[in-house]
């Protein structure tokens, strides 16, 4: 811990969840603001999630402006940080990666033992998460297109690098305030998977069902899916964003963006409802036809296809969004 506080000055806590705490901090030498996330590795589940996040962020060899950038990851196995256990993003050697994994998985901490932790040092995002950002702003077609372009580009980049996020939702997208508007950063890679070997990310099969119910694709509930499950999640996100459809989280009581199907008094996720009723017809938009141009409706329907083989992949999605004139006036041809 002493080594960490020598390099970074912890300023304040900005977020807390079941798997860790996020702080705003400053680099002691330069004053540059960064985010420091501590994940306590006291349970097998948290160890696995910490390693998944580490491997995902570490495996991206080149950076994308819409994917959260990790500057370094520090391993704490006691009161301090040993230099040999400090894993820098620039020191990309198999020896360091194996050391991190063996240190975490080889130790069996007792309940309540917080000595083993991974500290992720990333860029700091001053605009909070996308859920809170969108709910604080009036609906704006230009903003919607801006969000769609950035997220499609980020997911295309991740899939190109064989990383499947598996938990895309507005809360897992951070916002930085830039001169030209909000810049989004896909974050929270604890449930992500890095596909090993030279495989087609859209054909690699996953068997563990995970994610957030209201954003999960139908096939994920059955535990048999590919990277196209990420596209379904983005389709739900885009739809909820444009129509500002929310629900109240039962645990946190917080207002969250998300699409759902009403079954009596119960709210059922779109993915689960489609799995129960393969003939379910999605009515897009739900609220107001003026809120969503027909070309955007068609795009979202193509993202939410029940059959994953008929669903857009990330590369097709990126091209389709670039061709949209959503929120912009079409230019007349031949003038």
Query: Which residues contact residue 151 at a Cβ distance below 8 angstroms, ignoring those fewer than 6 apart?
Result: 66, 168, 173, 184, 186, 234, 237
Q: Where are the beta strands (DSSP E) in the chain?
A: 8-17, 20-27, 33-40, 70-76, 86-88, 117-123, 163-164, 173-178, 181-186, 193-194, 246-248, 255-257, 260-263, 266-269
**pTM score of the predicted model:** 0.89
The fourth-level CATH superfamily of domain 130-323 is Transferase(Phosphotransferase) domain 1 (1.10.510.10)
Q: Looking at the predicted structure, is the pLDDT value of residue 54 above 80?
A: yes
Q: What are 208-236's pLDDT values in tens digits?
A: 889 999 999 999 999 999 999 999 999 99
Using an 8 Å Cβ cutoff, are 227 and 160 in contact? no
CA distance 192 to 52: 6
Cα 206 to chain centroid distance, Å, stands at 18
Q: Looking at the predicted structure, is the pLDDT value of residue 90 above 60?
A: no
Domain boundaries, the chain: 2-123, 130-323
CATH number listed for the domain at residues 2-123: 3.30.200.20
Q: What are 129-171's pLDDT values in tens digits?
A: 999 999 999 999 999 999 999 999 999 999 999 999 999 999 9
Place of tokens 């069902």: 209
Q: What are 274-289's pLDDT values in tens digits?
A: 999 999 999 999 888 8
Q: What are 175-186's pLDDT values in tens digits?
A: 999 888 899 999
User: Does 167 qualify as catalytic in the annotation?
Assistant: yes
For 292, how many CA atoms within 13 A lie in the half-sphere containing its CB? 22
Q: Looking at the predicted structure, is the pLDDT value of residue 243 above 70?
A: yes
Catalytic residue among 167, 188, 230, 313: 167
Q: Which of 19, 65, 38, 5 is nearest to 119 (CA)?
A: 38
Q: Residue 58 has what pLDDT?
A: 85
Most confident of 18-22, 124-128, 323-327: 124-128
Tell me, yes or no, if the two domains 2-123 and 130-323 fold the same way. no
């Amino acid at each position: 811990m002493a080594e960490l506080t020598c390099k970074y000055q912890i300023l304040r806590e900005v977020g807390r969840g079941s798997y860790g705490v996020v702080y705003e901090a400053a680099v002691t030498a330069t004053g540059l603001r960064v985010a420091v996330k501590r994940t306590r590795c006291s349970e097998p589940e948290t160890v696995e999630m910490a390693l998944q996040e580490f491997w995902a962020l570490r495996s991206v060899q080149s950076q994308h402006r819409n994917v959260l950038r990790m500057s370094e990851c520090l391993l704490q196995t006691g009161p301090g940080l040993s230099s040999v256990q400090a894993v820098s993003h620039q020191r990309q050697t198999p020896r360091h990666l194996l050391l991190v994994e063996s240190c975490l998985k080889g130790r069996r901490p007792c309940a309540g033992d917080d000595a083993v932790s991974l500290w992720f040092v990333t860029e700091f995002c001053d605009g909070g998460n996308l859920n809170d950002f969108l709910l604080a702003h009036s609906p704006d077609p230009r903003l919607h297109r801006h969000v769609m372009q950035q997220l499609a580009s980020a997911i295309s980049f991740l899939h190109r690098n064989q990383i499947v996020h598996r938990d895309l939702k507005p809360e897992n997208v951070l916002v930085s305030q830039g001169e030209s508007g909000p810049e989004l950063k896909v974050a929270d890679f604890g449930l992500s998977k890095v596909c090993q070997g030279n495989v087609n990310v859209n054909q690699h099969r996953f068997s563990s069902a995970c994610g957030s119910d209201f954003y999960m694709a139908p096939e994920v509930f059955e535990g048999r899916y590919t990277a196209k499950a990420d596209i379904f999640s983005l389709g739900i996100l885009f739809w909820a964003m444009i129509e500002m459809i929310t629900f109240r989280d039962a645990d946190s009581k917080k207002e969250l963006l998300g699409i759902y199907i009403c079954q009596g008094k119960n709210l059922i996720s779109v993915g689960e409802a489609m799995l129960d009723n393969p003939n379910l017809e999605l009515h897009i938009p739900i609220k107001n036809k003026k809120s969503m141009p027909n070309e955007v409706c068609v795009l979202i329907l193509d993202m939410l296809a029940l059959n994953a083989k008929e669903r857009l992949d990330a590369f097709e999605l990126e091209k389709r969004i670039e061709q949209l004139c959503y929120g912009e006036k079409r230019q007349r041809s031949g003038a």
